[in-house]
Amino acid sequence: MKNSPIRSALFAATLAAVSGTSLASTTVTIGTVNNGDMIRMQELSAAFEQANPDIKLEWVVLEENVLRQRLTTDIATDGGQFDVMTIGMYETPIWGKKGWLKPMDNLPADYDLEDIFPSVRNGLSAEGTLYALPFYSESSMTYYRKDLFEAAGLSMPEQPSWEQMRDFAKALHKPEQDQYGLCLRGKAGWGENMGIVTTLANSFGARWFDEGWKPEFTGEAWTNAIEFYVDVLNKYGPPGVSSNGFNESLALFNSGKCAMWVDATVAGSFVTDTKESVVADKVGFALAPKQVTEKGAGWLWSWALAIPASSDAKDAATEFVTWATSKGYSDLVAEKF
């Protein structure tokens, strides 16, 4: 028996009613870095999906160097693979000015932009327009083992010099005990070892360019800084340091293998977490080391969430980004972790 137009219409209506929820669902693809805070965000995102059943989150979690390559390629080619990108204070103003990012305007009435440090808001803006919301912001600092310092009769000043750090590292370096004097990022990448190299060089008085925009990499300050960095890691760093970025260095410190570590302030919640760190109750804190100047001894960075102009799910992406950077999300992290 042939289907009548009425029977076909009724079948189509029934099918639409049954599958309406799935048809209305919007998928938001998130490209993010594989550090601890982003892993927490992924774990907690079930709460967002429960509150927003019409939005499905799809995660692409990558090592930092790989993430930068993937996101840069996608945004520059208008690829549209991602609806939310985890980027920072370097990319955001450049990509925003090019029109590659959706402006962060028309935010919820209860979203408190004034609660964000002005330096961070400005760093995520171009020509007065905000193009990303900060997931977190950070500087750098010194972490050290108070128990090892006490046993060796050493005292960490409020802000050590890099020369003092070298002396401390020499005294505390005991590779036969799997204990290394100083851990620093050694993995190649401007978001990996260049983060520490740049601030170290700044504290040695080095600059990228002079007043005439001529590169200064062959200057005495750069030479002193790089020689110091290579020498101290070769003598007092862990083996295989050229493979160590933030995550690897954090794992070394948390397992008790680093007497000292200079890195991002955001690591503070992990090195003091008794579930993740065997030295959680033995950690001391000091300012990032200085040398000939205190200027630039600590970096300024923010991992932020941005929405590419190529996204076809901008409204749903905005819902997620405002949730993940809200005070409510911070409260959820405090509750769960």
Q: At what angle do helices 193-203 and 220-236 cross, to 10 degrees?
A: 120
Q: Which CATH class is domain 5-137+302-336?
A: alpha beta
Residue 258 CA, distance from chain mean position: 22
Name the nearest CA neighbour of 136 among 296, 335, 329.
329
pLDDT tens digits, one per residue of 35-72 = 999 999 999 999 999 999 999 999 999 999 999 999 99
CA contacts within 13 A on the Cβ side of 266:
17
Segment 263-292 shows an average pLDDT of 97
- pTM, two decimals, is 0.88
Please provide the distance, in angstroms rounded to a whole number, between the alpha carbons at the two ends of the chain: 63
Dihedral through CA 127, CA 94, CA 108, CA 81, nearest 10?
Answer: 150
Residue whose entry in the numeric block shows the structure tokens 């950690």: 283
Does residue 2 carry a pLDDT above 60? no
Does residue 6 carry a pLDDT above 90? no
Tokens for 323?
């949730």
Q: Any idea where the domains of the chain sit in the sequence?
A: 5-137+302-336, 140-287
Segment 228-237 shows an average pLDDT of 98
Just give the CATH number of 140-287.
3.40.190.10
Strand, coil or helix: 301: strand
> How far is it, in rounded angstroms, from Cα 53 to Cα 27?
11
pLDDT tens digits, one per residue of 184-198 = 999 999 889 999 999
